[in-house]
Structure 1
Amino acid sequence: MSDANLAIASNLDSSIRVENHEPDSEVRYSVVLLRGSVSADDASELKIVNTHAPAGSAPVKVLTDGKRFKALVELSEGKNAIRLEHTSLPTSELNLTLKPQTNPHYVRLIWMTDQSGETDFAVPDDTVTQDYANRLRTAALLMQTFTAERMKDLGYGPRTFALERDDKGEVVVHTWKGDRDKQDYYAQADNNRWWQHVRRWINEEHPDPMAKNVVLAAYTRKDPRTGKMLGHTALGGANLGLFGSASVFCWPRDVQSAMDVFQDDTAVDATHVHDDSAFRGTIWALASTTIGATLHETGHAMGLPHCTDNMGIMTRGFDHFHRVFTFSDPPSNRNKQPRKFSSEQEAYFSPVSASFLRWSPWFQLDGSSDQSEKPARSRPTVEVDEAARLVRISSSAGIPWVGFHSKDRIETFQEYGSHDTGANDHPKSMELTFDEIQQMKPGTEIRRIVVVDGNGASRNASLPQPSP
């Protein structure tokens, strides 16, 4: 077909429209989610082909709902010509350029065994392949794409974290032996000592200040005698997100199978494996909850607290991770028929979380290759003056963001100046009275503030509590 017959995918007059990516735009992550519609009555005949797809990638799986479609497209570095073909409509083309991030801060994926080196994970039966690296790699790519899409939807651009890649551009999954027998890890799991031990092990054996570590414990199992989970947790903070591997058997093995997994209403056999699906009892729900929960713990490692938004990843919104990639919840124990949802019912990083991530060093996309060798950047100053009943804040890098916390979660936030990285319009200093702070969210007791400066450095301060 000649170029004259090609329609630009996002043109308003086009018969096939991509709604979330502009033609000839640049992206900084390797798997894009295309959302769009066709003018025909049925999008099910739509075929999407990236003519510059990475070697070995599977054909694009297109999920449709009437005239609407969603598809995950894998990109090669450089220009990608994506053709959208429908049997009864003119073919459209969308050109996207993948420019890999140069940010030295990255997310590192680790499959942690006990000291035996045994890599197998729990499975419901012998038909499940033990390809843990593919499953963890695919989950991480989905988390990266999810984050970029939701950051963009909130006005921060398609900003996301970098994944560690090898010389061929493949996402790296490390397989590392822990320093103890699995029984020792099982004995630690009930009181957070396990997380502390794993963090100490990472920092001593595999230190890297540029890395946020996502660790999956290969040795997680369900005790067949007691039904108790052994070596299972979901904890995150500092530089570590730690998660059990009990549900990895249901994670997609590659990007294109993700759509099928998120539509799979096969029941989970809870007598053999852990059903961590928010009582929905199906493969799609188990995959959604546990990949979403892994992103939740990664968020904690990025510095995010819990929030109050029911659809936020930093609350139980992670149960609905799959909805960004689908159009309805398949049948489950909670809904006997497929259940459609609105865009407001899709999981996301809520504004209070996304606005903080905007300034994180792990979300800056580009950076100097020798950044790790530079002296630590100064942090903002926060002075609590109880006598004057105010907080004084200052930073030579400017102050783009201040968050206001109750006991263990962030309640609200304020942004100052532009979102642009090179902008110089953030205030260098400010004063907030105690009364002004408490009015940031009336009816909620604000106990702590967190200040982030234009370099991504942060500092927090506790506020005096009113006398009883």
Structure 2
Amino acid sequence: MDNRTSYDSENEQNSSIFVTNFQNGDSVNYSVVLLKGIITRLNCNTQEKLICSITNNGTQSKTQWDVHNGEFKAIIELKHGENVIELEYTEQQRRKFILDYTPRKTNLRVTPVYIICQGHDGCFQSPSDIDNSVESACLRISLGCKLIQSLTAEKLFESGNGRKTFQLENEVNPRKPECIIFKSTLNVNKARKMKQAELWSHFGRELMLSDLGSNERKFIGFISCTRYKGTDLDKPMTHEETVSMTEAYAALGGGGLALFGTACLYTWPTTIDEIIPNFMNSTPVNPKRFMDDSGYRGTLGGCFATTLGSVFHELGHTFDLGHTKDGIMGRGFDNLDRVFIVGEKRSSLLKDSMNNFNGKPVQHSTVSLQRNINVTMNVAEPLRVLGPRSKTTLGNFASMSKSDIVRRSPNITPITRPSSVYSSITNKLTESKKNINRNHSNDSIYWTRNCAVFLSYHRWFNNEYGRERQAITRYLKFDKNKMMIISTAGIRIVEVRDDSNGMVLDSYEFTNLLPEKRFLVPFTFSPKTKVLTIVVEDDLGNVLKQTFSY
């Protein structure tokens, strides 16, 4: 009898602890894991903690976690290979199981970088009692990226698309640090005078022209020299007013770069043990000295939740996702803390919409490089550059002017749903599609159906080997005159987006074993804009984008 079988037998006999999102023997390709579960026999002592022990190659670590009305959540970090996890409650109840951590074999990775401008010492803005060194910044960034990697997988799993996620740089190349320090030639004083889109464009070019430049990388960049200038005003400020007082600020994602400022980085944790306390930190932000990017909650914990959620959202744009009315690619990322916290200590639920709870506009932007593309493609190389999924190369990206960058407006566009009956070559709407977004967990964080399908077939989320060779001869074409899409590999998802703000007006998913090879796009929506973008992903993760007027 192997360990996994014996653990199952032991658990059935002695334990009232149940893990609800993992099974004994499961494998994951990411290191930071969120365990969720229930305890059916509770102790009258409500202060009792759940003890979580992890053993890997003879090394053991222990952490403690709150239990609320029988519910628990624990955040653990796995080591490569087999990890034996034991949960203990009141010394009498135990559950032991195994999780295996093995990164996927791929060259496609997400690379966290800490960008230090010329003339800057690399220390991010923070209160005097906070360690704001370069080393501290890298610890915060690397842990934040691991949390996003884990969240991506957990939310795809909840959507019914499997526990898929991207790999981080250090997992693909262990010789690289978890967060790479990038010394920019851009002077700090010049950087602090530049707008978000200009910073995005400059650092995008600089990264791609550096030794790190590769079509196999997507970068998450953090600017060390972000500086909130402060104010003497006592009145509440809008986010726009706050941003206007912040130099070298960015929250932009698209193509191969998601770029962020660091004015709230001091609210992020450096270790696993700090994650929950940081989310729950109700200390008010002092807006006269420090940036309040908390979704108007005004607390340090709110700043951590909103800014981490913003990174989650903007990274989604680098994976070709558009805006949605709700969910993570809407405004649903503010409540990120609710994923990790149990019970009444969770923050109150902010309205899940592209506008926040009190009607103030969203606190993020998205950039995209716009150009006409040839929509007939024989795809031999994954289209993974900083810019559109077209025939863009490193050379012409590096030569693009600032006018090539279009800042996405975050305003909502009213959506008219199409009729529910189409021909056999169009998508067959089902009740499961209509209801899929209602079945997410009670933390309010979820991928909408179209985003979940898009990511589940994306190149960065699947085993690369074997698919690349097949992609060489695959054909993907959109005929805008006939509104017909043809794919030899098979169509997995078609989205119609409003070109002015990236809002998905409608989507058509094909998740059967044999996908459609042809699709006639129904013209049954009425956006305000006269410019639309058709986005198509095929079975091998090739992505086609075609903007057209009508």
The question of whether the paired residues in 1 share the 8 Å contact of 2:230 and 2:290 is answered with no
The one-letter amino acid of 2:465's match is S
Q: Is the counterpart of residue 84 in structure 1 residue 87 in structure 2?
A: yes
Q: Distance in 1 between matches of 2:16 and 2:8?
A: 8
The question of whether the paired residues in 2 share the 8 Å contact of 1:124 and 1:269 is answered with no
TM normalised by structure 2 equals: 0.73
Q: Distance in 2 between matches of 1:112 and 1:358?
A: 31
Give the deviation of 1:53 after TM superposition.
7.9
Q: Distance in 2 between matches of 1:377 and 1:9?
A: 53
Query: Secondary structure in 2 aligned to 1:317?
Result: coil
Give the deviation of 1:321 after TM superposition.
1.3
The question of whether the paired residues in 1 share the 8 Å contact of 2:49 and 2:65 is answered with no
The residue that corresponds to 1:414 in the other structure is 508
Give the deviation of 1:284 after TM superposition.
1.2
The residue that corresponds to 1:199 in the other structure is 204
The one-letter amino acid of 1:187's match is K
Assess, with a 3 A threshold, how the Cα gap between structure 1 residues 442 and 253 changes in structure 2: closer, same or farther: same
Q: Is the counterpart of residue 382 in structure 1 residue 478 in structure 2?
A: yes
Query: Secondary structure in 1 aligned to 2:491?
Result: coil
Q: Distance in 2 between matches of 1:168 and 1:448?
A: 39
What percentage of aligned pairs have identical amino acids? Answer: 26
The residue that corresponds to 1:400 in the other structure is 492
Which residue of 254, 264, 268 maps to 1:251? 268
Structure 1: segments with no counterpart, 5+ residues:
336-341
Provide, for residues 387-417 of structure 1, a one-character-per-residue CA deviation record: whole Å limited to 9, x for no partner: xxx4111112111111122342113322214
The question of whether the paired residues in 2 share the 8 Å contact of 1:63 and 1:259 is answered with no
Q: Distance in 1 between matches of 2:42 and 2:22?
A: 23
The one-letter amino acid of 1:438's match is T
The question of whether the paired residues in 2 share the 8 Å contact of 1:116 and 1:177 is answered with no
Q: Distance in 2 between matches of 1:11 and 1:237?
A: 48
Q: How does 1:200-279 map to 2 (within 5 A)?
A: 200-205=205-210, 206-224=212-230, 228-279=245-296
The residue that corresponds to 1:156 in the other structure is 161
The residue that corresponds to 2:451 in the other structure is 353
Assess, with a 3 A threshold, how the Cα gap between structure 1 residues 37 and 242 changes in structure 2: closer, same or farther: same
Give the deviation of 1:256 after TM superposition.
2.7
Query: Secondary structure in 2 aligned to 1:51?
Result: strand
The question of whether the paired residues in 1 share the 8 Å contact of 2:230 and 2:287 is answered with no
The residue that corresponds to 1:293 in the other structure is 310
Query: Secondary structure in 1 aligned to 2:22?
Result: coil
Q: How does 1:433-448 map to 2 (within 5 A)?
A: 436-438=522-524, 447-448=532-533
The residue that corresponds to 2:67 in the other structure is 64
Q: Distance in 2 between matches of 1:262 and 1:169?
A: 32
Q: Is the counterpart of residue 99 in structure 1 residue 197 in structure 2?
A: no
Which residue of 405, 429, 446 maps to 2:518? 429
Assess, with a 3 A threshold, how the Cα gap between structure 1 residues 462 and 189 changes in structure 2: closer, same or farther: closer
Q: Distance in 1 between matches of 2:544 and 2:471?
A: 18
Superposition RMSD on alpha carbons, in Å?
3.2
Assess, with a 3 A threshold, how the Cα gap between structure 1 residues 197 and 6 changes in structure 2: closer, same or farther: closer
Which residue of 165, 174, 179 maps to 2:180? 174
Structure 2: segments with no counterpart, 5+ residues:
233-241, 351-439
The one-letter amino acid of 1:303's match is D
Q: Distance in 1 between matches of 2:216 and 2:13?
A: 43
The question of whether the paired residues in 2 share the 8 Å contact of 1:384 and 1:391 is answered with yes
Q: Distance in 1 between matches of 2:464 and 2:275?
A: 32
Assess, with a 3 A threshold, how the Cα gap between structure 1 residues 198 and 89 changes in structure 2: closer, same or farther: same
Provide, for residues 324-357 of structure 1, a one-character-per-residue CA deviation record: whole Å limited to 9, x for no partner: 111257588999xxxxxx9345222222222211
TM normalised by structure 1 equals: 0.85
Give the deviation of 1:212 after TM superposition.
0.6
Q: Distance in 2 between matches of 1:69 and 1:170?
A: 35
Assess, with a 3 A threshold, how the Cα gap between structure 1 residues 225 and 6 changes in structure 2: closer, same or farther: closer
**How many residue pairs end up in the alignment?**
438
Q: Distance in 2 between matches of 1:280 and 1:395?
A: 47
Query: Secondary structure in 2 aligned to 1:297?
Result: helix
The one-letter amino acid of 1:220's match is T
Which residue of 150, 153, 156 maps to 1:145? 150
